[in-house]
Amino acid sequence: MAATASTDPQGSPQVGRRAPAFKLPRDGDAKVSLADYKGRYLVLYFYPKADTSGCTKEAMDFSRLKTRFAKLNADVLGVSADPVSALDKFRDKHDLTVPLASDEGKAMLTDYGAWGKKSMYGRTFMGVIRKTVLIGPDGKVIRIWPKVKVPGHAEEVLAEVQAAAKGVTAK
């Protein structure tokens, strides 16, 4: 059963506004920041937990499409609250090619509205909310997918990047 989620709109970026800056550790003992993607499209996908079924499918889908995103001047970055060691294992186990960032402190997750109340089986808890944010080469938010369903999502995001690169909206 999927968890339902709610976020405070105050903690979410707004379409047309500058995306919140971030700097995080990532897999492979590297660091990643929003500034690294200046002049490129950036797909930020937030996922609840490394190596769980939905998160694995989503990561594999984005990895499968990585070269198609790259041809559009776009990068993909997965973000969760998992420690870097878990991200390294997740990447290696599933041969993932998209970078994975760790936000154990949850500051970036909060800034992007991807940390909030969730409920499952009648229990309420705080957790990572599965959502995706597309940022343009100018650093402004182009589109937000607030409640992601994994099947077909990576393809939908790719279509939006293709449309943005042509100067139209895919919605």
Contact indicator for 45, 101 with CB cutoff of 8 Å: no
- The residue type of 138 is D
- Using DSSP's 3-state secondary structure scheme, residue 130 falls into coil
Question: Catalytic residue at 23?
Answer: no
Q: Which of 55, 76, 87, 128 is the catalytic position?
A: 55
Which token pair is 45? 């996908």
Instruction: Read off the amino acid at residue 72.
Output: L
Which tokens sit at 47?
């996922």
Q: Give the residue numbers annotated as catalytic, written as ranges.
A: 55
